[in-house]
Amino acid sequence: MKRKIWVRFMVIAYAAAFALLFTPAPSVNATNISDLEREKQDLERQKDDAQRQQNEQQQRLDGVSGQISSLQNDADEVAGEIEEMDAALVETIASVEIIEEEIDEKEEQIQITTSEYEEAKATEEAQYEAMKLRIKFMYEKGDATYLQLLLESQSIGEAINKAEYIKQLYDYDRKMLEAYQTARMETLAIKEQLEDERAELEAQQHELEEEKASLELMLQEKQRLYDNYEVQIAQARQEAAVYKANIKKQTEAIRQLEAAASKKESEIEAAKKAEEEARKAKEEALRRQAEEAQQKEDSNSQDNSSQSSSSSQDSGGSSGSSSDYASASSYSGSGSKGQQIADYACQFIGNPYVPGGTSLTQGADCSGFVWRVYKDFGYTVPRTSYGCRSAGTGVSYSEAQPGDIVCYAGHVGLYIGNGQIVHASTQRTGIKITTATYKEILTVRRIV
């Protein structure tokens, strides 16, 4: 009896050994699956790193884009000033040319009047000399001559006529002399008036020449400033192009890593499936061999094989959590547009202050914070605190409404109502709420 049991045991043992020896081995074992999972995790880490770098490049691109927008606004403003100055310079040059023509005309008139004056003066002097000669002649002849002329008259009428002739001659001399004197004085007055007008025109010409020189200097300075803006914009655009190229490369790298991770996941699933099929095939083979040998002993062998196979299928996972901020569009319909902007901005309280930054989550400065909040709602405001002073429409602080931009010397914030603002304050305090009147308010600007 014992011998039969021993023989039966040996048959079962040989059958089990035969089954283990000739059953096909799995194509991928548990170790290979672990390697694949580690490779997949490594790909995911690389993808996360690439995504983080892409986000950093995007933030820098956003910052440069804001800088370009701000520089372009400044350049456009200077271009407008240049255009105005150029028009004023053209007008001044035209005025100078007109005055020069008027001065030339005055010179011609003065020359003509001077000639007329000299001619009138010469005529007056000639008349005066002629009158003196006649007076001298009559004086030297004495009254007897006049008396003789009267006595020699044949009649009283002739004597009266001669006396009348003498009087008329004297009166004529006086009238001619007075007429010539008057003509000379009038010509002299016209000459002096023309000289005064010329002097006035020359003074205007001098002032216009100074104004022209001043405008040319200002125009040169504005042009230099505009050219400087153009250089800065060109440099910023080159920088933005580099960031865009990096983002494009990182996007392609992320796509490739995602594809590789997806492929690795498929390989893991295929390996697990192959392992499972191999395990099932092995179990089936053992079950058939054990049934042929001995049902009871084979059952124990299958249990051991099942436990061994099931232990090789354990795998782990990872989980994470993230918190998201509400988008700007999710605030639509909740009050006025300004209230929506104020509510949206307040959810970033506690985030860091970063000089030159424009990220509401990773960090922004005061104007970058205001600029990005409005940008998320589709509005464009200046990127600098100085530029914000002229944005939108000015209102008094007593009329301030949520969403208005409150401007200070070198700082800006968003009014949220109840005498408070939300703003990127300092590197120590970050984005926070502060009383609006904590420092002197320069202006309040309404955008929406």
Handedness of CA 197, 198, 200, 204 (dihedral sign): positive
CA dist 206 to 46, 87, 89, 147, Å? 74, 20, 15, 70
Q: How far apart are CA 307 and CA 18, in angstroms?
A: 20
The answer to whether 181 touches 124, Cβ cutoff 8 Å, is: yes
Specify whether the backbone of 336 is left (phi greater than 0), alpha (psi in -120 to 50) or beta.
beta
Contact (Cβ atoms closer than 8 angstroms) between residue 262 and residue 4? no
Using a 10 angstrom Cβ sphere, with 0-12 exposed, 13-18 middle and 19 or more buried, the burial of residue 11 is: middle
Taking a C-beta distance cutoff of 8 angstroms, is the pair 326, 336 a contact? no
- The alpha-carbon radius of gyration of the chain (Å, integer) is 55
Would you tell me how many other CB atoms lie within 10 Å of the CB of residue 166? Answer: 14
Distance CA 285, CA 15 (A): 11
Angle, helices 156-293 vs 30-141, to 10°: value is 180
Q: What's the rounded Cα separation, in Å, for the pair 373 and 337? A: 12
Q: Cite the active site residues.
A: 366, 411, 423
Question: 405 forms bridges with which residues in the sheet?
Answer: 414, 445
Give the closest residue to 305 by CA, choosing from 33, 17, 31.
17
